[in-house]
Chains A and B, each alone.
Chain A
Amino acid sequence: MKPFTAIFWLLFSLAANANAKVNVVTSTTDLASIARMIGGDNVDVTSIARGTADPHFVEVLPSYMVRVQKAKVYLKLGMDIDRWAAPIIDGSRNGKLVVVDCSQNIAPLEVPTGKIDASMGDVHPHGNPHYWLDPDNGAIIASTIADALTGVDPAHAAAYAANLASFKSQLETHKAAWQQKSEAIRGIKIVTYHNSWPYFARAFGVEVEDFVEPLPGIEPTPSHTAHVIELIKTHQIQIIGVEPYFSMRTPETIARESGAKVVQLPPSVDGAPGAQDYFSLFDVIIDRLAAAR
């Protein structure tokens, strides 16, 4: 009898734990950060991808599957960037999981027209998926998450609504501060490694002139690198922004040849020291760009 009693108590306490908070798993740290602010004490949130990892490529591990098996909600980025989430979700065998595509209400940029294929590199058919880097899209993501949490946990609907309102008002305060701070970078021309920044650029008036990658997802080539060096010289571009998961080698070569400065720009929460949540992420990006001018 004794072992059975032990197992019963173990299962019971696990079940009780699972009921205490809504278990949320997200594809990336940015969604996790927003989900924590909306969910507050009523949720337990973890992200599959690390903040310093490339969100396009995440290995499908059984440990992720068991994490999703215990979850109630999965928040994915969508727009084809986290295709790896599908085999993780399938592998979890979780029939009650609510899967929420956080891109569902945003207005995408760079939606390709006409036929796309691999000769254009790793182009995303539904548009550029780095949409969380516009703070206005952060508000849309927050609303989507609040709806999802309310759906699975209606008992705390009022708390989620209050947290959403508070998130939005905090975001407005931050936006005012960012707009002021970003005066220093308004109108600057930059080159970035990958096309991760069109939403950020639109929000803060930065002009992204070209990319270290010749095409999305394609490793730098000597001819394209030479072209970028020329472009930096003729347009007097000062900054080469590099996401933390790319090699510094080619950007540093370009910097040496052109006189521009290499700056590591974290596109995600936890991608750099100080970028510990969705709000401070923008502070770090703006500060790093401003400091490099």
Chain B
Amino acid sequence: MHAMRRITALHAAVVWFGISAHQAAAQTLSNPDLSLVGDFRVVGRSQEAADSTGERELSFVFEELELDFNAYLNPYMRADVFIGIHGTGPDVDVEEAVMTVLRGLPAALQLSVGQYLLDFGKINTQHSHQWSWMDRPLMHRTMLGDEGLKALGARLTTLIPIGDSALGLSASAFSGSAFEAHEHAVAEGHESNEDAPAEIMGSARVSVFRQISDLWSAELGASYLGGDYDPTESLSTHIAAVDWKLRWRPDSYRAFSWVLETMRSEREVASVDSLATSIHTVDAWGAFTSAELQWTKRWSAGALFDWTQDATVADAETTAIGGFLDFWPVEETARIGLVYRHETSDRYNFDNDTVTLQFLWGMGPHKVHAF
């Protein structure tokens, strides 16, 4: 089912580009911007279970090859497509394929339609190669999904000036199928009806961005999402998030940033006992924070704290701490990253140490530096 949806989405993207290529020829426009991001990793992991059996492993991981296509469609609209290819196998994933009406709408609204990284919290809107800490926060994995929350739907956003600050408002309606991965994880043997239309869920985010001085800026955001994610059982989920980012950028050599995100999830879960299916609610909290300092053009280092309660299993926690180091050998087109991560869970009975060496490169038009 999951693979099926991915292929369909990819097919849609190809058809979309077929159309735009045709129009480009007719209007003698230039090609879309094409960028490629390669993320190759060497991962060393030592795992220790409570029964003191341990194992060590070293693996080479083709984390992702990301293909980005970006172009204006006309003076009012643009389209952005991000396709992720994981490993050398056929695991292709449309991360985003979205058309945005940039201007021309009333009340400074922008409308996006398609598949996009939901602006729920701050971190979910970023592609994973933007994170020096590399691994998706634990609370995202349990509350939003292993690959974060990609919404298939429509979004309205606006930006309102308050003095020199910016108040951002955003609202989305999207398909509850974004949560189907959980459903499988939650209820083993609970067969979902693949043909049933998924419920529509909703989300909203309010954020305030303020430039504290020429060098410092900060953003505070609050998000909510909720709705029924399972049409058959009509299971609901409600998640709220608060995010915070502080950034210092005195010159092109140095930077400091601190991100903090915390989430609270309330999810109805179906459990199957021999014959009957019962529904109960699991409450969970999660938090992630990371601070990073770049002290010269080529080096930066930071630390992370990552903790979550399981969104579908009561009284299960996972905690991780870690540190990371980034090195740009020449300029921003190539980065070598190193992350050490210590992850433990009493409930799931493990104690992991992971060291990851990452080789990240990007070709194509330079990425601009968004906050």
Contact = CB atoms under 8 A, between A and B. Distances in A.
B76 A217 contact: no
B166 A62 contact: yes
B322 interface: no
A247 B159 contact: no
Interface string B184-221: 00000000000000000000000001110010010100
A63 B211 contact: yes
A251 B169 CA distance: 47
A91 interface: yes
B366 A83 contact: yes
B164 A63 contact: yes
B165 A63 contact: yes
Interface string B100-118: 0011110011100000000
A94 interface: yes
A59 B159 contact: no
Interface stretch (A65-73, A173-181, A184-192, A222-230): A65-73
A92 B209 CA distance: 14
A91 B371 CA distance: 12
Interface stretch (B4-12, B13-21, B126-134, B246-254): B246-254
A139 to B, nearest CB: 30
A71 B369 CA distance: 22
Contacts of A83: 365-366, 368
A63 B331 contact: no
A116 to B, nearest CB: 13
A61 B368 contact: no
Interface residues of B, number: 39
A280 to B, nearest CB: 21
Contacts of A92: 103, 159
A12 interface: no
B251 A59 contact: no
B34 interface: no
Given A83-B366, A217-B331, A62 B104 contact: no
Given A50-B214, A93-B102, A95-B104, A65 B76 contact: no
Contacts of B166: 62-63, 65-66
B211 to A, nearest CB: 4
B331 A219 contact: yes
Contact of A62 (B102, B105, B168, B253): B168
A60 B253 CA distance: 17
Contact of A247 (B158, B253, B330): B253
A250 to B, nearest CB: 11
Pick from B109, B161, B333 the residue with the most CB of A within 10 Å. Answer: B161
B45 interface: no
B297 A60 contact: no
A90 B78 contact: yes
Pick from A59, A67, A92, A245 the residue with the most CB of B within 10 Å. Answer: A59
Interface string A62-98: 1101110110000000000001101100111111000
A67 B369 CA distance: 18
Contact of A245 (B104, B210, B251): B251
A50 B211 CA distance: 14
Contacts of B371: 59-62
B370 A87 contact: yes
Given A83-B366, A118-B363, A245-B252, A61 B209 contact: yes
B254 to A, nearest CB: 10
A54 interface: yes
B160 interface: yes
A11 interface: no
B298 interface: yes
A147 to B, nearest CB: 20
A50 B213 CA distance: 12
A63 B104 CA distance: 20
A95 B103 CA distance: 5
A40 B211 CA distance: 28
A218 interface: yes
Nearest to A56: B252
B164 A93 contact: no
Nearest to A93: B108
Contacts of A63: 164-166, 209-211, 217
A93 B251 contact: no
B160 A57 contact: no
A69 B159 contact: yes
Contacts of A69: 108, 159, 161
Interface of B: 76, 78, 102-105, 108-110, 158-161, 164-166, 168, 209-211, 214, 217, 219, 249, 251-253, 297-298, 330-331, 333, 363, 365-366, 368-371
Smallest CB-CB A-B distances: 9 pairs:
A66-B161, A62-B166, A95-B103, A62-B209, A93-B108, A63-B211, A66-B166, A60-B370, A95-B104
23 contacts: A54-B251, A54-B252, A57-B252, A58-B369, A62-B209, A63-B165, A63-B210, A66-B166, A67-B164, A70-B161, A83-B368, A87-B368, A90-B102, A91-B159, A93-B102, A93-B108, A93-B109, A93-B110, A93-B158, A95-B105, A122-B366, A245-B251, A247-B253
